Structures are given as structure tokens and as C-alpha cells.
Structure 1
Amino acid sequence: MPRLNLRPLHSSPFAKPFIKKPTSTRYFHATSANMTIKTFFEVSWEGPVLDSSGKQTSKVEEQAGIIKFNLYDEVVPKTVENFRALCTGERGIGYAGSTFHRIIPQFMLQGGDFTRGNGTGGKSIYGEKFADENFIRKHTKPGLLSMANAGPNTNGSQFFITTVATGWLDGKHVVFGEVADDESLMVVKALEATGSGSGKVNYNKKPTIVKSGVL
């Protein structure tokens, strides 16, 4: 069951450390090195409306937005190719129509289970699972795109987007891209506001990837 490592070395219970909430989206600046492949998700959801500064308001409504990604194709080409092909759907499987099934504020958004929709499914373009490519990139900031897994070398289609730095996941999950711009990061923040400490989405309409592809 692909999930994030909430237990170090799969042993004792893991307590997610307290992380100070960023005060500005300026914390999320993207970089341009080693990124030539760009993809996108068009997402729809129900949840709190954010104001212009990114703060949550009391107004709840159905919303839509686009998240653009820059992928680290020179660092982890096999992992990037898996994500790219699942974005286009060119192999007959892909992300379009799937949901973000697990959202934990001040941690991450998890999605990519297009077979079961609950975190127990999904598969890669290489078969059900493929090996960890490398751990060169670290979970150093919000807006990073990383592979969810069920332990070493169990990558499939599930991924997560960080909303804070998550260094305790270094060496356990393969970072393969990042959110491309501030507009996309505002969408990530809006999706984050739909989640809960348990990961359950608090609103009737789960965040859904309506369309995905390559830019």
C-alpha cells in the first residue's frame, strides 16, 4: 500500500515534527536547473476560498485551478518518464480522473492511485512497481514532487506534493520535480486547506485531476 514513511525504518511509531508555517509564498521559489520536462494537472475541488495573500477564508465553494510542474529529468530520468507518461495517458493508464486521496495540512498532498482511489492501488508504466532511482534531491522545501511508496523499491504511480520541508523523508522517497510557479503553489495551498490531520478530505468533492498532460 503506497504511503509515506511515517515510521523510520518501518519500526517505531513516527511523530511528524512541528514545522513553522511559511508566512509567504515567496518561500516556495522554483529553480530552473535540471528541469526540461514540464507537466500539468487541471484540478477541481470543493473547499475554503483563499484570499490574495493565501490565507483561508470562511467561504467554501467548488473551485478549479492548474498546477504546473518542472521535472528533474536529468537527475531521475526513469522516475520522470513514469510521471510524464502517466500525465499524458499515452500508455492507456494515467492520472486523469483520479483524486488526491490523502491531504495532511502542514505536510503534503498525496495522489496518483488511479485504480482504487484510496491509496492501495496504482501502477507504473514499467509494471506494478519499480526501484528507487536515487535520492540525490532532498525534501528541502514546500512544493516538491516525490514518490509515495510502501517501502524500498516499491514505486508505482502514487506521488505527493510537500507543503513544508520534510527532511525526515530523505533517503526513503525519490524527489523528482517541483511545482513550477506561484500561481500553481496557490492551488496547492487551496488543496491543502481541504485536508485534516488524519489525511481525510473534509469536503464532499475530493480534489480531482480533471486533465493532465505535458506543457
Structure 2
Amino acid sequence: MKKLSMAAAVAALCLAVFASGCGTKESKSSETGGEAATQQQNAKSWSSAPAMTIDKSKTYQAVFKTDDGDFTIDLFAKEAPITVNNFVFLANHDFYDGVKFHRIMKTFMIQTGDPTGTGSGGPGYTIEDELNSPYSYEPGIVAMANTGTANTGGSQFFICTGEDSKNLDNIPNYTIFGKISSGMDIVQKVADTPVKASERGELSVPTQDVLIRDITIVEK
């Protein structure tokens, strides 16, 4: 795969438009979001972003169990507290369990976090961007996906997997909130999943499912 141009990089990371008009099957109270969570096609949804509950003086890790193996992300609670708080909230409510990696570009990134698996799903709300990061895009960096406009992140995120991700340093529009600390070989294994062309011709649609089975948050 050739190195992406700036235009291609911008287009490639204009990620999922969040679904609207969610139907409700059942409700249960949210422990930290302060809103009723709804169940729609096995996906939880909230009407507002979660309240801040993490402690920025502590460290947080996310331990992933996937069909291809396990990996760990060090979360940047100090640098991106809103985003990390949101991710911890969703992980602790099992939002990501059973969600697949729906977009894979081996030398660029792998994307997940959409419970519908279509690239258009989210948690029912959006969060603010946190773009003043001391970190640069490189393999292992984890960042929020968005719709291409400000403050539209929700649940979808991507993990950088190759040299093409470095092009994003020139268009830093995605909140960086973590980095792989162990299991990068597993991340690369996910990136090796065969893909086919999307409806718009992008070679990024996995031909076989790789699912997140569980995410455990470790607080220290």
C-alpha cells in the first residue's frame, strides 16, 4: 500500500456518522451517566455523556480480550480526561463486548467501537475533543474517531498500525487517548485480517469478523 497523501488521510479518517432515532427495548438506570440506558439491538445507549468519575492522578489501563488474542492500552487520563472517562464508562458497562473491528487498513489503522458494526453507530451522545496532546500519531497510538467535524466523538476509536498513520500529525483532528503497552503483535494480527472494498471503493471491510470479547479497566 502506498503512503497516503494528505487528502487521502483526511478522507480516510472522516469516520462514522452516528446513528439517530434509536428505538428502545428495555431500560435500566446508568450508574455514572445520570441517564436511563436503553437497549437497542443489543447495544446500550444514553442520552448524555457520563459524569466525570476518573481520578486524573491515577493511572488506567484497558485490557482487551479479542478473538485474535489479548492486548493492553495505557490510557492517558491526565492528557485526555474527558475521553478516558468516557471510554472507562463504556467499558465498565460492557458496551464494547461483542463489538467487531469493522474497518481495517493494515498500514494505517484498525477501527472499532460501533455496536452496529456498520460504522454509523455510537452510544447516543457525543463528547468534546481534546486535541492539545503531547503525543504524535504512530503505530500503537489509540485515538477517537469522529464524523469529520468538531466534538463528534462517541464510542468509536482506532488503533494506529502502520507508517501511514504518521500522516495524521499534519491534521491532528482526533483525540489521542492511549497507546498499546503490550500485545502489539495481536493488534498487528487484527490488522492482517483480509479485507474487501467498501461501497465507496476503500479496501477496508473485513471478510471475517474479529470481535472484542471483553475489556477490563485496571486502575492504579
AA partner of residue 146 (structure 1): A
Q: Please give the alpha-carbon distance, in whole angstroms, between the structure 1 residues aligned to 2:215 and 2:125.
A: 21
> In angstroms, what is the RMSD of aligned CA positions?
2.4
Equivalent residue number for residue 89 of structure 2: 85
2:213 aligned with 1:210:
yes
Distance in 2 of aligned mates of 1:198 and 1:41: 25
Is contact 2:127-2:153 (8 Å) kept?
yes
1:157-198 deviations in whole A, cap 9, x for unaligned? 0000001242332421010000112xx101001100004361
Go from structure 1 to structure 2 and tell me whether the alpha carbon gap of 1:15 and 1:131 turns closer, same or farther (over 3 Å shift). same
Rounded to whole Å, the distance in 1 between the matches of 2:108 and 2:77 is: 25
The alignment's TM-score, normalised by the length of structure 1, stands at 0.67
In structure 2, relative to structure 1, the CA distance for the partners of 1:7 and 1:98 (3 Å cut) is farther
Q: Which residue of 1 aligns with 2:204?
A: 199
Counterpart of 1:94 in 2: which secondary structure?
A: coil
| Residue 154 to residue 7, structure 1, CA distance change in 2 (3 Å) | farther
Which stretch of structure 1 is more off in the superposition, 186-195 or 35-44?
A: 35-44
Deviation sequence 1:129-171 (CA, Å, 0-9, x none): 1120233144332011100000211000000000124233242
Unpaired segments ≥5 residues, structure 2? 11-56, 196-201
CA distance, structure 2, for counterparts of residue 174 and residue 211 of structure 1: 23
Look up the match of 2:14: none
Aligned to 1:28: none
Q: How does 1:62-211 map to 2 (within 5 A)?
A: 64-89=68-93, 94-114=95-115, 116-123=116-123, 128-151=125-148, 152-165=150-163, 166-170=165-169, 171-181=172-182, 184-196=183-195, 198-203=203-208, 206-211=209-214
Q: Please report the TM-score for the alignment, with normalisation by the length of structure 2.
A: 0.66
Contact 2:82 2:127 in 1 (8 A): no
Contact persistence 1:104–1:195 (CA under 8 A):
no
CA distance 1:169–1:107, shift in 2 (3 Å): same
Instruction: Return 5+ residue gaps in structure 1 as ranges.
Output: 1-5, 9-13, 18-33, 45-63
- Work out whether residues 68 and 180 of structure 1, in 8 Å CA contact, stay in contact via their aligned partners in 2: yes
Higher relative contact order (CA 8 A, sep 6+): 1
Task: Pick which of 142-151 and 127-136 moved more.
Answer: 127-136
Secondary structure of 2:205's partner? coil
SS at match of 1:200: strand
Number of paired residues?
159
Secondary structure of residue in 1 paired with 2:102: strand
Letter of the 1:147 counterpart: M
Q: What SS does structure 2 have at the residue aligned with 1:153?
A: coil
Cα shift readout 1:36-80 (whole Å, capped 9, x = no counterpart): 101111101xxxxxxxxxxxxxxxxxxx41111100001011100
* Inter-partner Cα distance in structure 1 for 2:120 and 2:141: 22
Tell me: CA distance 1:159–1:119, structure 2 relative to 1, closer, same or farther (3 Å). same
Question: How far 1:117 sits from its partner (Å)?
Answer: 1.3
Q: Is the 8 A contact 1:135 1:173 kept in 2?
A: no
Among all aligned residue pairs of Structure 1 and Structure 2, give the percentage whose two residues are the same amino acid: 33
Q: Indicate the residue corresponding to 2:30 in structure 1.
A: none
SS in 2 for 1:85: helix
